[in-house]
């Protein structure tokens, strides 16, 4: 990683105040109202927080679906997170980095965050169709060193057409798969995807269908 790369974080205690959890949490409003308070999210050097569990790096984890199938791919050799190399994923996204139009003290930082998610996704894949975007869950996994310093914000994108093409070299074997097909390769899934897979149907109940 670049030594000067800065990533979006919140202090772990912000999550603990709302109630620490393991796995998926569908009561997202209880947490988001604490996370997106002006001044709470901030950018810190990734090298500083990568092994410091007192901070949680916010990672948008965008699950894309169309007609009961879900976008999946295998993280190739160019994967930024080498610990996830070669594993299949159903989530697109990564660290949120600073941008000139991303003021942390904006009164509506939530909308600014959503715009940053769109930019992050666009760096990895080209979504050439309209879609809705809902935050359906938060994902926390303190059982391993990667999970202890990250908090997944699970977005559920409902696509009007399966028109998605890769932009990043790290994305390989990209295809849409049914939950049953994903279950057949469950042993190849990265941890976050494994945690999400049993709850894909439940996620649809938490969509707000906000137009992108």
- pLDDT tens string 93-117: 889 888 755 555 555 678 778 888 9
- pLDDT tens string 10-41: 999 999 999 999 999 999 999 999 998 888 99
- pLDDT tens string 103-155: 555 556 787 788 889 999 999 999 999 999 999 999 999 998 889 999 999 99
- Spatial distance between the Cα atoms of 15 and 20, rounded to a whole number of angstroms: 6
The tokens describing 152, both together, are 């997944």
Sequence-distant (≥ 6) Cβ neighbours of residue 46 within 8 angstroms: 1, 2, 5, 6, 7, 57, 95
Among the listed residues 203, 201, 165, 170, the one whose alpha carbon sits nearest the alpha carbon of residue 88? 170
The tokens describing 41, both together, are 């999210």
Q: Report yes or no: 163 and 125 within 8 Å, Cβ to Cβ.
A: no
CA atoms in the 13 A half-sphere facing the CB of 178: 5
- pLDDT tens string 174-201: 999 999 999 999 999 999 999 999 999 9
Residue matched to tokens 């092994």: 51
Structure pTM? 0.89
CA atoms in the 13 A half-sphere facing the CB of 208: 12
The SS3 of residue 16 is helix
pLDDT reported for residue 50: 93
pLDDT reported for residue 22: 96
Map out the domains of the chain with their CATH numbers. Answer: 6-206 (3.90.79.10)
The per-residue pLDDT of the chain, averaged, comes to: 88
* Whole-number Cα distances in Å, 192 to 52, 95, 115, 138, 210: 20, 15, 23, 11, 24
């Amino acid at each position: 990683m670049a030594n000067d790369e800065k990533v979006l974080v919140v202090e772990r205690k912000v999550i603990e105040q709302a109630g620490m959890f393991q796995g998926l949490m569908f009561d997202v409003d209880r947490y988001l109202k604490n996370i997106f308070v002006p001044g709470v999210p901030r950018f810190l050097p990734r090298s500083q927080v990568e092994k410091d569990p007192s901070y949680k790096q916010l990672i948008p984890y965008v699950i894309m679906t169309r007609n009961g199938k879900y976008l999946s791919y295998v993280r190739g050799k160019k994967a930024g997170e080498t610990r996830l190399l070669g594993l299949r994923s159903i989530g697109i996204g990564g660290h949120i980095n600073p941008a000139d139009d991303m003021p942390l003290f904006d009164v509506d930082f939530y909308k600014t965050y959503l715009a940053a998610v769109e930019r992050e996704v666009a760096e990895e894949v080209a979504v050439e169709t309209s879609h809705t975007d809902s935050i359906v869950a938060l994902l926390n996994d303190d059982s391993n060193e990667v999970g202890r310093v990250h908090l997944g914000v699970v977005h559920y994108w409902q696509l009007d057409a399966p028109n998605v093409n890769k932009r990043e070299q790290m994305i390989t074997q990209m295809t849409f798969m049914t939950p049953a097909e994903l279950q057949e390769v469950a042993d190849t899934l990265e941890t976050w995807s494994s945690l999400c897979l049993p709850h894909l149907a439940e996620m649809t109940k938490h969509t707000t269908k906000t137009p992108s």
